[in-house]
Amino acid sequence: MPTFPDFRYPLCRRPLERKKCGRRWELSQGEDMISNAGEPCQRRRGEIHAVNGNLRNICSSGGKFSAGAIFFHPPAILTASRKRQAETMETFWIKPKLYFGPEPMAALDRLAGKRVLIVTDAFLASSGLLDRVKNRLTGAVEIFDQVEPDPSLRLVAQGVRMLRDFGPDAVVAFGGGSPMDCAKGMCWFSDRHPPLWCIPTTAGTGSEVTSFAVLTDTDQGVKYPLVEEDLLPEAAILDASLLEGVPPHVTADTGMDVLTHAAEAVAAKGASPFSDALAEKAFALAYRRLPEAHAGSREAKQDMLLASCMAGMAFNAAGLGVCHSMAHALGGRFHVPHGRLNALLLPGVIQFNAVEQRTAEKYARLAKLCGLAANPRALSSAVTRLRSGLKIPLKLPVPAQEFRAALPGLAAAALQDVCLPGNPRPVTAGEIEAMLREIGG
């Protein structure tokens, strides 16, 4: 019967690798792990696994792991993230250099002659939009175009293998939150840590300026927002012309994500005058311009891209809250677009949080900035009206019985989510279930 090392250093034997503990671990040559039952090898080189619990759990459920398998421990990341969130009141910094204006793609000339790995999705790779990036690059270029919505750990592992084989000087993420988060995960889980440039093609996540990467463990149906400073991109290019062909339903979903980032950042425990300035500007701009962007206005889409970026900076510093915790739980389980989930949940969350005086005042200020009556109820109703105008369905597209059965698991996942500690009001499993029931199918 093989014995397993202590959980604190589950897969590391060489002193150098022990330094990585608490973040991620990679099996080296000669470090294959064999299950108690001696099952055949099921886990291949470069695969990424989230470790919930201890190593014995992985081994009893997972068979043999080969050299090159990568492990990370979400609770350890969670603890680090919470510690960081607790510090946000005293710190405010912006790392990515932003390029915007009439010819922002010219910034890519800084990568002239370099080996570049582009991370994108299949639609964007074949749409012709990607040529605007490729035409600027003069060195060797490889394209990883397999990103799907809500990128999985498995997909990130594939990307890590490609990154290792190609050895780029820089990675360029081209797309919405899914390609950007996948690229962040790839750079973070690989040993090379190449600099990451982000080029958003949706106005929604703000991922180009955040230290968040939301990855999905498809085996367990859980979405993990990793929060680590090292995930921050090196540079971001904001080119609104890329958004011209975004279909109305994607503009609606992603635009509601912007509003939710701003509304949660304003109310979050970590809010500061700096994050408030960005969040208030982002909310008011997005509230005014989203209907026009939805109708196809180029100028309005440009403003939405700016609002998305500002909201990203705001929540990166201030934190988010229970709306995103519930959206992550639902997204991991039902794979509904992230922004649509936030759109459904936000009005109820505003009412829930507004019970506290400080938060009610902050929402009232947001409402006033949007030209509404200065109170939280006016804000919540305005979000509901906006959502209807964008033709976002009122309920989740999930059968009622299936949804009811999933409620306890969803509430448990939301309570574990890294965004929850940022919420201004403490929240129980029962209260989460009640808010979820409001949007059930």
Ligand X SMILES: NC(=O)c1ccc[n+]([C@@H]2O[C@H](COP(=O)([O-])OP(=O)(O)OC[C@H]3O[C@@H](n4cnc5c(N)ncnc54)[C@H](O)[C@@H]3O)[C@@H](O)[C@H]2O)c1
Residues of this chain that interact with ligand X (CB under 6 A) are 121, 123-124, 149-150, 175-178, 181, 201-202, 204-207, 210, 212-214, 242-243, 245-246, 250, 254, 257, 331, 338-339
**Smallest gap, in angstroms, from Cβ of residue 426 to Zn ion?**
22
Q: Measure the CA–CA gap between 4 and 62, rounded to whole angstroms.
A: 14
Q: b vs e for 323-362, b when ≥16 Cβ sit within 10 Å of the residue's Cβ?
A: bbbbbbbbbbbbebbbbbbbbbbbbbbbbbbbeeeebbeb
CB nearer to ligand X: pick between 107 and 246? 246
Coil/strand/helix, residue 95: coil
**Would you say 190 or 254 has its CB closer to ligand X?**
254
Please, what is the minimum distance in Å from the beta carbon of residue 349 to Zn ion?
13
* Paired sense of beta strands 170-175 and 116-121, if any: parallel
| Residue at shortest CB range from Zn ion | 257
**Nearer CB in complex with ligand X: 10/339:** 339
Indicate the residue among 46 and 319 with the shorter CB distance to ligand X: 319
Which one of Zn ion, ligand X, none interacts with residue 243, CB within 5 to 8 A by kind? ligand X
Please choose which of ligand X, Zn ion, none residue 26 contacts, taking the beta carbon within 5 to 8 angstroms, the exact cut-off set by kind. Answer: none
| Min CB(53)–ligand X separation in Å | 24
State which residue, 69 or 157, has the beta carbon closest to ligand X.
Answer: 157
Strand order in the sheet with 24-26: 24-26, 70-72, 48-50
CB of 254 to ligand X, least distance (A): 5
Joined tokens for residue 254: 């992603």
Nearest CB to Zn ion, comparing residues 289 and 338: 338
Asked if residues 441 and 403 have their Cβ atoms less than 8 Å apart, the reply is yes
Q: What gap in Å lies between CA 371 and CA 375, rounded to an integer?
A: 11
CB crowding 166-194: b at 16 or more within 10 Å, else e: bebebbbbbbbbbbbbbbbbbbbbbeeeb
Q: In a 3-state reduction of DSSP, which class is residue 138? A: coil
Shortest spacing between CB 256 and Zn ion, in angstroms: 9
As measured in angstroms, the least distance from the Cβ of 121 to ligand X is: 5
Shortest CB 346 distance to Zn ion, Å: 11
Using alpha carbons, select from 394, 392, 374, 372 the residue that is nearest to residue 439. 394
**358 neighbors 401 (Cβ within 8 angstroms):** no
> Which option in ligand X, Zn ion, none does residue 214 bind, with CB closer than 5 to 8 A by kind?
ligand X
**Contact partner at residue 175 from ligand X, Zn ion, none, CB < 5 to 8 Å by partner kind:** ligand X
Pick from Zn ion, ligand X, none: which does 419 bind, CB < 5 to 8 A by kind? Answer: none
Quick one: 12 or 238, whose CB is closer to Zn ion? 238
Q: How many other CB atoms are there within 10 angstroms of residue 246's CB atom?
A: 22
